Amino acid sequence: MISIICGTNRGQSVSKKIALYYQNLLKEAGANSYVLDLKELPEDFMNVALYDNAGKSEAFNTLKKKLNESHKMVFIVPEYNGSFPGVLKTFIDALDYPQSLKNKKCALLSLSSGSQGGALALSHLTDILHYCGMNVLAQKPKLAKIEANFKEGQFTNELYVTLLKEQIEAFLPF
Amino acid sequence: MISIICGTNRGQSVSKKIALYYQNLLKEAGANSYVLDLKELPEDFMNVALYDNAGKSEAFNTLKKKLNESHKMVFIVPEYNGSFPGVLKTFIDALDYPQSLKNKKCALLSLSSGSQGGALALSHLTDILHYCGMNVLAQKPKLAKIEANFKEGQFTNELYVTLLKEQIEAFLPF
Amino acid sequence: MISIICGTNRGQSVSKKIALYYQNLLKEAGANSYVLDLKELPEDFMNVALYDNAGKSEAFNTLKKKLNESHKMVFIVPEYNGSFPGVLKTFIDALDYPQSLKNKKCALLSLSSGSQGGALALSHLTDILHYCGMNVLAQKPKLAKIEANFKEGQFTNELYVTLLKEQIEAFLPF
Amino acid sequence: MISIICGTNRGQSVSKKIALYYQNLLKEAGANSYVLDLKELPEDFMNVALYDNAGKSEAFNTLKKKLNESHKMVFIVPEYNGSFPGVLKTFIDALDYPQSLKNKKCALLSLSSGSQGGALALSHLTDILHYCGMNVLAQKPKLAKIEANFKEGQFTNELYVTLLKEQIEAFLPF
């Protein structure tokens, strides 16, 4: 079971829509997955799931338990302020170190409203996941100008679909 | 007025103690400062201060207003999972873009329990602050093995004190 | 006297043409500069100017002496393999540490044939220059798809000209 | 056949000695390897193997051909100026894009005289190798204060030996 992590807690996010699109591509390729939307994090997550409070939030523990059972993950990462959302790093900070991520495998995908596509976001995230002992697939599509290229749940830019399919093809046997 | 940002919301953090130590060094150098401890962030900050809710948290607005009036900042950054704490990026994501940080100046300082000192944390943070238009002082002390080198509010490693004083000497005219 | 470093030793490089364009913009803004094209490096540079041979190449020493007298630098950086050219780092490795770069100031500009513009190249270079004690201006224009946007020595994309002028406006008083 | 790349062209480098040590560890683990020392690069490499001259240096072509036939690589990377040596990037710039590296696998190891161990060097190198389509093992040992911990071809710090053995154990089935 592959975990697809929607890397923002913003409501109605494009990232969530792309997570669902990606889930469908995985299904077509014969792989089961579920979407973990960071919007599902408990409201007081930042205070009840970290440090001395680690493990005390039942709602977070439920999300974490499911993730811990997964050995492959896909991160859908919007660009915020030249990197990935703070909430995604806070989520990683609240996981079990190192067992949540160590010796597991992941694929990363970024999107941005602007023209740069999130290269720095994925570079930072790669550093962190490597630190946690997680192998990161080399292919990391960066989907720039996402609003112009993804509408009503579908890509209008065929290149982007190709990039995602090639990533999945490399990820499944990774 | 220099803002010293304690880059974690963990209680009783070493970062907070170093922030207070740094404030004293600034005072000795003739500079006024105050400490903004991320522990002061409202509990539901992640949900009430971002995206559609931007500006709706009075508690956050008060912290932000004071920061916006400041033109120099010092970030005290503990290493979490090979980078800086997620809560610090979430805090940056909730600031006013670009006016909170643009054309301002900052100095960065990292600390780690381990032996690496946080070089990647400060590299990632530099990328983000540059994206936001903030100039970052080249000197970025990385204080490794902090528990062995800082006890009861004082450094036991004179080199670390020297690094901080040299940073301040470069930062004040920056 | 500002040094404009053309960050590749490729002949007929677009970087060189942009370096000359940038020099003209600096002149219009009242600043003197010269172009140091890495193509001028001696052919055996990699072997005669580093390590035990440091200082033994007269041709390199001449280039270095002029750079050492300069307190502001502009780096024109093409994207090669997702970062900046190896020859640029080799050049930095051959400079005098730390006096060639320490406590000096620079502005960075990247260009790429592809759509990403060189964000990672400038991130890596910033890390290195900060390590060497050089302050880096926050504004770092990234000029993507350069062949489509710069022809016969002129930009066909007005946005790019605006970005360069804004960078210079921020750099001169930096 | 695993390629072990000694990432500097400095003579008598510690990196070369560690490359030979690593080769022995691989042999003990049942894996064949050879060492490609960047010191073997032709003296005028920077001028005869790049851009319009790509493919024209027989000496370089011989090194490249052997590398191209290899599907696993280990990079031994000394820290120079807060990153990896320029000559290593120049070497990568002279390889065949993308076939020399694409869809291959590598393990990275850094060493430094100073206390930081080369975390930024390996972060930059990871970005570049990912760009080239090469998968990078998450475990990346960073060997700080190498002169104090490696003498006469042997590690005096047992932790470092453990880190290398763990890396090899993860790399062989990667």
CB contact under 8 A, D128 and C83: yes
DSSP B59-127: HHHHHHHHHHT-SEEEEEEE-BTTB--HHHHHHHHHSPTTTTTTT-EEEEEEE-SSSSTTHHHHHHHHH
Q: Note the Cα C171 to chain centre separation in Å.
A: 14
| Interface contact flag, B126 C126, Cβ < 8 Å | yes
User: How far away is chain A from the Cα of D152, in angstroms, using its nearest Cα?
Assistant: 30
- 3-state secondary structure string across A26-84: HHHCCCCEEEEEHHHCCCCHHHHCCHHHCCCCHHHHHHHHHHHCCCEEEEEEECECCEC
**D92 Cβ contact partners less than 8 Å away, ≥ 6 residues apart:** C81, C86, D101, D128, D132
CATH number at residue B52: 3.40.50.360
Q: Is pLDDT of C21 > 90? A: yes
Please tell me which residue, B25 or A55, carries the higher pLDDT value.
B25
**Is A89 within 8 Å of B92 when comparing Cβ atoms?**
no
CB atoms B87 and A82 under 8 Å: no
Q: Which among A134, A140, A174 is the nearest to D130, CB-wise?
A: A140
Interfacial residues of D (vs B; Cβ cutoff 8 Å)? 115-117, 119-120, 123, 142, 144
Q: Which residues of chain B approach chain C closer than 8 Å at the C-beta?
A: 103, 123, 126-127, 129-130, 132-140, 170, 174
Residue of A129, A135, A174 with shortest CB distance to D137: A135
The pair of structure tokens assigned to D134 is: 């090469």
| pLDDT(A48) > 80 | no
Residue of C50, C106, C45, C116 lying closest to C83 (CA atoms):
C116
Distances in whole angstroms, Cα of residue A7 to Cα of each of A38, A61, B21, D141: 6, 18, 36, 29
Q: Mean pLDDT over residues C72-78, rounded? A: 98
**Bridge partners of residue A143, in order along the sequence:** A111
Contact present, A146 and A111 (Cβ < 8 Å):
yes
Which residues in B have their CB inside 8 Å of a CB on D?
115-117, 119-120, 123, 142, 144
Provide, rounded to the nearest whole percent, the portion of chain A with pLDDT above 70.
100
Q: Which two tokens stand for residue A44?
A: 């007081």
Instruction: Report the alpha-carbon distance of residue A170 to residue A135 in Å, rounded.
Output: 13
To test the contact with chain A by mutation, choose from B5, B9, B77, B81 the residue with the greatest count of A C-beta atoms within 10 A, namely B81
Q: How many domains does chain A have?
A: 1
Interface of A to D at Cβ within 8 Å reads 103, 123, 126-127, 129-130, 132-140, 170, 174
Distance from CA of A169 to the nearest CA of D (A): 12
Q: How far is B116 from chain D (nearest CA, A)?
A: 5
Bridge partners (DSSP) listed for residue B83: B80
- Residues of C within 8 A of D80 (CB-CB) are 89, 93
pLDDT of residue B48 exceeding 80, the answer is: no
> In chain A, which residue's Cα lies nearest the Cα of C82?
A119
Residues of chain A with C-beta less than 8 angstroms from the C-beta of C118: none
- Across chain C, what does the average pLDDT equal? 96
pLDDT of res. C45: 84
- Which residues from chain A sit within 8 angstroms of residue D169, using beta carbons? none
Q: Which residues from chain D sit within 8 angstroms of residue A174, using beta carbons?
A: 135
In whole angstroms, give the CA distance from residue C117 to residue C109.
10
Instruction: Give the pLDDT confidence of D60-90 residue by residue, as tens digits.
Output: 999 999 999 999 999 999 999 999 999 999 9
Please answer whether residues D74 and D22 qualify as being in contact, where contact means their C-beta atoms are separated by less than 8 angstroms: yes
Nearest chain B CA: its distance from C66 CA (Å): 23
Can you tell me the distance from the alpha carbon of A38 to that of A18, in angstroms, rounded to the nearest whole number?
14
Alpha carbons B96 and B94: distance in angstroms, whole number: 7
Q: Is the CB of D136 less than 8 angstroms away from the CB of A136?
A: yes
Q: Which domain holds residue B109?
A: 2-171
Contact B137, B170 (CB under 8 A): yes
Q: Which of B123, B125, B146 to mutate to test the interface with D (most CBs of D within 10 A)?
A: B123
Residue corresponding to tokens 């030979």: D20
The owner of tokens 């889930």 is A23
pLDDT digits (tens, 9 = 90+) for A110-140: 999 998 899 999 999 999 999 999 999 999 9
- Between CA A13 and CA A30 the distance in angstroms is 26
pTM of the shown model? 0.98
Q: How far is D136 from chain A (nearest CA, A)?
A: 7
| Residues of chain A neighbouring C115 (CB-CB closer than 8 A) | 115, 117, 144
pLDDT 10s digits, A66-92: 999 999 999 999 999 999 999 999 999
**Who among C115, C119, C144 is closest to A120 (CB)?**
C119
Mutation pick from D110, D115, D146 vs chain B, by most beta carbons of B within 10 Å, is D115
Rounded mean pLDDT of C137-147? Answer: 97
The answer to whether A87 contacts B82, with C-beta atoms less than 8 Å apart, is no
Burial C112-135 (b: 16+ CB within 10 A, else e): beeebbbbbbbbbbbbbbbbbbbb
- Which burial class, exposed, middle or buried, applies to A173 when counting CB atoms under 10 A from its CB (0-12, 13-18, 19+)? exposed
Q: What is the pLDDT of residue D78?
A: 98
pLDDT at B111 over 90: yes
* CA distance, residue D65 to nearest chain A CA (Å): 23
Q: Cβ of D116 and B120 within 8 Å? A: no
- The ranges of chain D with pLDDT < 50 are none
pLDDT tens-digit series, residues B133-164 = 999 999 999 999 999 999 999 999 999 999 99
CA atoms within 13 A on the CB side of D156: 9
| Shortest CA gap D119–chain B (Å) | 7
Give residue B144's pLDDT.
Answer: 96
